[in-house]
Amino acid sequence: MDVGFVGLGVMGLPMARHLVEAGHRVTVASRSPGPVARAVAFGAVDGGSARGVAEAASVVVLCVPSSPDVVDVVDAMLPALRPGVTVVDCSTIDPDVERAQHLRVAEAGAAYLDAPVSGGSVGAENGTLTLMVGGAADVLDGARPALEPFSKMVVHVGGPGMGQVVKLCNNLLYAAQMQATAEAFTLASRSGADLGRTLEVLLHSTGDCTAVRTRVPFEGVQPEAPPSNGWRPGFMTDLMAKDLDLALAYAARVGSPLDTTRLVRETLRQAVDAGYGCEDFSAIGKVVRKR
């Protein structure tokens, strides 16, 4: 299959690599030349621009940081879109902005799916991402060969924009887990509890969750976790803050309360203000510990 990929960041570059390894002909574009050169080195073709990628591919995957970035890429691709082409947006953006892109691409005669991913940079590297897909089911069926090489699960969750809605629900839950994990382990530490044994208990109790399993925000408790590795990001604080802003804005439009999310967003703000924006979002634990 001729697959295009626009956006070769921490997530996008390994996703594109999995596509090449699966035997697809992959044409790429990105903002900076370095990732494009690395993609060419593992077998991709430099498309020169988003439009060049769209001209070369029947399925184009996007993985860019924000809603305006997605709009800009779609703007660039529109002249090259045609019947038989499917655009798949794996970014995390505003659901209503995404619905507008569905319409714009459809007007050009092409198809569109929103397919944000979960699994972070580790999932991208390992090809084990979960995709939550909004759009037409038959369009997803045709695009699956271009999605499965970097995924362990691809789930159709509804119509246009619903992939983004489910992704925001996922991330607000994960952020709340992280805040609770930071508070729990700070309480344990200040009480003199052994954090390793506390972790052992929680992993086999009702307090178990993804944040406890992967991101206890104390150095040395989990050797593979970001806090034990210089807070190297699997998912940056800045990006989680962006996603919670998206969730809060969308929830306000549909009239759904997000009280816990507002509290966690404030902690993320403090983490960004403290200079932790480019660190893993478990760095909110450092904010909790200083309170």
Q: Could you give the residue numbers annotated as active site?
A: 167
The rounded distance, in Å, linking the Cα atoms of 289 and 284 is 9
The rounded distance, in Å, linking the Cα atoms of 174 and 171 is 5
Alpha helices in 93-222 (DSSP H): 95-107, 120-126, 137-143, 162-190, 195-202, 210-214
Task: Retrieve residue 97's tokens.
Answer: 């902005």
The rounded distance, in Å, linking the Cα atoms of 266 and 161 is 27
Question: At residue 272, what are phi and psi to the nearest 5 degrees?
Answer: -65, -45
Beta carbons within 8 Å of 55's beta carbon, 6+ residues apart: 47, 80
Question: At residue 222, what are phi and psi to the nearest 5 degrees?
Answer: -125, 110
Is residue 154 helix, strand or coil? Answer: strand
Beta carbons within 8 Å of 134's beta carbon, 6+ residues apart: 98, 113, 114, 115, 157, 158, 159, 160, 161, 162, 163, 164, 165, 166
DSSP 79: G
Residue type, 61: V
Q: Tokens 């034990």, residue? A: 228
Q: Tokens 């972070």, residue? A: 120
